[in-house]
A and B are shown apart, each in its own frame.
Chain A
């Protein structure tokens, strides 16, 4: 969400001062009616303004597109079924950067992607390779991260590394772009710089994270390292044989969106491994009714908190009557310090 362009100009900037003026000197703090009055007056303070002014921070913030450093990598040719090197995307020191959208365009949309933060021990923003279709769109419908990725460049540039793996079986030319907000904070006075710095310190603790399927039954894919489950015609994988999303030790994950890419139709249900196997539906859901893609993701009506080391099983049944490779991605926000 864009920062507000205009801000209310309050007659009294400090709510405490506003309340003090309203009450005068002595009040009985234990009086229930008094606290009701305080709440009423606080609402009054919120509504008491004499106009708006343009947000000064808007002068130093801009939309910003982050592309691969090298022009040749901006339209990267990835060999058939091959993986690329880790492609650098550098954020220079001219201002902090928040990534909010992911976009791609490719000869074939059938490829996998991994994003790493080189400035943070190459920590990944996913637990394994993720299918690009489930986490990226285009300008018309970009994939919106549920929580922006925040990169503080106060002291040094930051580097994102992105690796692509083709799954189309043919040479694949891939364009990839991050989009977000650039804070050209060094172009502002010290007070604004300080406020921006504080905000960025806080925001780095929360970030979006992609969970691919793990626990894929051995032999269900042509290559067990790929994050897809391959169902044979009309096959079902249920309960302990089902793959799952897992939130690992270091953080809780609030799942917000659920996306897929598959060769054919299937149906699914989500089952908790804790809580005696509670199922999040009263039956199997057809894929197009409960999963989306990067452009039109399925957004849970209520975020699902997957606590650390908990598993959420994805039970599946093929409906295509043919071999069916299914990639599923749960998109959420990582709560590292909860």
Chain B
């Protein structure tokens, strides 16, 4: 007799399984594993205007810190990031600020420097038709991030820096999963550790150039991007925000390996990849066909050339994950 029970692939969803006899079995863990959004406290952070935007783009602006704290009830696994910001005087939507996220626990920063919010979080819409402030396109983290209140992981500290000469109010949300079922949490953690090896923990990392990119009209310049010594890094997505068009190249300094064949122009100068072929933004990031796995201590150079014939602030972000050797979380218990 023809057996078609497996002919059309597996049956079932995340919350239930259809058994061979046709009955449905609910996954009991789903009662204690819930979606959860972690916000700043208070939910809206007011950031004063940058009063001096000349000579540097935020010359006298100190970053404004805020805390994102979970209560002690259950661990949290961060998966998406979204934002919403408005001018406080007119209510007009705004996207001109930077963010730095720090984990006050033993883990290092989630980024090597502050990065532009349009390369970190969704929520501002895009030219592809997503409505401004639609929640449907958050940045999906390339690797989830665990916060366990029992292990000192109770809070993240974020810093906002205003790039406007007027005051804005910022909301930042990190969406994820709350595990009130400890066994489900431990299983998720253990799977993570199994993937990357005992004692290795992976977490998202946003890498940007070591110094801010501010190109004068038609200027070309090279910017270092050092991946830290504590972890390997894997590039998963590329995002940018800029005042105008530019060309870019990424070079691995170890062996001078280029990630393109852009070559030289007729004057012997370098040519590069047009920005819209290499970078998306947080809502629609460019996901390369192959990730780039870089071992610790790798130094990259990012070559950039302005095409806008005007001053061009360029923010590029390599949305990555770090794979870190460290003490096993399980050994700490």
- Interface of A with B (CB < 8 Å)? 1-3, 5-6, 51-54, 58-59, 61-67, 69-72, 74-75, 89-92, 98, 100-101, 103, 105, 138-142, 148, 175, 177, 179-182, 184, 295
Tell me the residues in window 250-274 of chain B with beta carbons closer than 8 Å to chain A beta carbons: 257, 259-266, 271, 273-274
Specify which chain B residues have a CB less than 8 angstroms from the CB of A3 in the assembled complex.
290-291
A46–chain B nearest beta-carbon distance, Å: 14
**In the bound complex, what is the Cα–Cα distance between A54 and B293 (angstroms)?**
10
When the two chains form their complex, are residues A74 and B293 in contact, meaning their CB atoms are under 8 A apart?
Answer: no
When the two chains form their complex, are residues A175 and B277 in contact, meaning their CB atoms are under 8 A apart?
Answer: yes
**In the bound complex, what is the Cα–Cα distance between A180 and B287 (angstroms)?**
11
When the two chains form their complex, are residues B278 and A65 in contact, meaning their CB atoms are under 8 A apart?
Answer: yes
**In the bound complex, what is the Cα–Cα distance between A10 and B164 (angstroms)?**
55
When the two chains form their complex, are residues B194 and A105 in contact, meaning their CB atoms are under 8 A apart?
Answer: no
**In the bound complex, what is the Cα–Cα distance between A69 and B238 (angstroms)?**
24
Specify which chain A residues have a CB less than 8 angstroms from the CB of B289 in the assembled complex.
1-2, 63, 98, 100-101, 148, 179-181
Q: Which of B271, B277, B293 contacts A71 (CB 8 A)?
A: B271
When the two chains form their complex, are residues A58 and B284 in contact, meaning their CB atoms are under 8 A apart?
Answer: no
When the two chains form their complex, are residues A65 and B197 in contact, meaning their CB atoms are under 8 A apart?
Answer: no
**In the bound complex, what is the Cα–Cα distance between A69 and B235 (angstroms)?**
26
Query: A57 — nearest CB in chain B belongs to which residue?
Result: B293
Q: Which of A67, A148, A295 contacts B260 (CB 8 A)?
A: A67
When the two chains form their complex, are residues B260 and A65 in contact, meaning their CB atoms are under 8 A apart?
Answer: yes
B14–chain A nearest beta-carbon distance, Å: 19
Query: B234 — nearest CB in chain A belongs to which residue?
Result: A5
B212 proximal to A (CB < 8 A): no
Contacts known (A51-B197, A74-B271, A175-B277); A65 close to B290, Cβ less than 8 A? no
**In the bound complex, what is the Cα–Cα distance between A181 and B128 (angstroms)?**
26
When the two chains form their complex, are residues B196 and A139 in contact, meaning their CB atoms are under 8 A apart?
Answer: no
When the two chains form their complex, are residues A140 and B196 in contact, meaning their CB atoms are under 8 A apart?
Answer: no
Q: Which of A89, A105, A140 contacts B280 (CB 8 A)?
A: A140
Instruction: Write out, one digit per residue, whether chain B residues 224-265 have a CB within 8 A of any chain A CB (1) or not (0).
Output: 000000001011001000000000000000000101111111
Residues of B within 8 A of A (CB-CB), count:
41
Which A-B residue pairs are the 9 nearest by beta carbons?
A: A63-B288, A71-B265, A140-B284, A139-B286, A71-B271, A181-B290, A65-B260, A100-B289, A58-B293
When the two chains form their complex, are residues B266 and A71 in contact, meaning their CB atoms are under 8 A apart?
Answer: yes
Q: Which of A103, A148, A184, A295 contacts B257 (CB 8 A)?
A: A184
Known: A72-B266, A89-B261, A139-B277. 13 other contacts (CB 8 A): A52-B194, A54-B323, A58-B234, A58-B293, A62-B292, A63-B235, A63-B292, A65-B278, A71-B262, A71-B264, A90-B261, A103-B276, A140-B286
B279 proximal to A (CB < 8 A): yes
**In the bound complex, what is the Cα–Cα distance between A81 and B195 (angstroms)?**
55
Tell me the residues in window 194-241 of chain B with beta carbons closer than 8 Å to chain A beta carbons: 194-198, 232, 234-235, 238
B180 proximal to A (CB < 8 A): no
Contacts known (A65-B273, A92-B261); A295 close to B266, Cβ less than 8 A? no
B306 proximal to A (CB < 8 A): no
Query: B286 — nearest CB in chain A belongs to which residue?
Result: A139
Specify which chain B residues have a CB less than 8 angstroms from the CB of A5 in the assembled complex.
234, 291, 293
A15–chain B nearest beta-carbon distance, Å: 19
When the two chains form their complex, are residues B276 and A66 in contact, meaning their CB atoms are under 8 A apart?
Answer: no
B281 proximal to A (CB < 8 A): yes
**In the bound complex, what is the Cα–Cα distance between A32 and B295 (angstroms)?**
50
**In the bound complex, what is the Cα–Cα distance between A207 and B260 (angstroms)?**
22
Query: A53 — nearest CB in chain B belongs to which residue?
Result: B197
Instruction: Write out, one digit per residue, whether chain B residues 294-316 have a CB within 8 A of any chain A CB (1) or not (0).
Output: 01000000000000000000000
Specify which chain A residues have a CB less than 8 angstroms from the CB of B273 in the assembled complex.
65, 67, 177
Query: A61 — nearest CB in chain B belongs to which residue?
Result: B290
**In the bound complex, what is the Cα–Cα distance between A54 and B195 (angstroms)?**
9
When the two chains form their complex, are residues B263 and A179 in contact, meaning their CB atoms are under 8 A apart?
Answer: no
Q: Which of A52, A72, A141, A142 contacts B265 (CB 8 A)?
A: A72
**In the bound complex, what is the Cα–Cα distance between A302 and B274 (angstroms)?**
35
A295–chain B nearest beta-carbon distance, Å: 7
Q: Which of B195, B234, B281 contacts A140 (CB 8 A)?
A: B281
Query: B194 — nearest CB in chain A belongs to which residue?
Result: A51
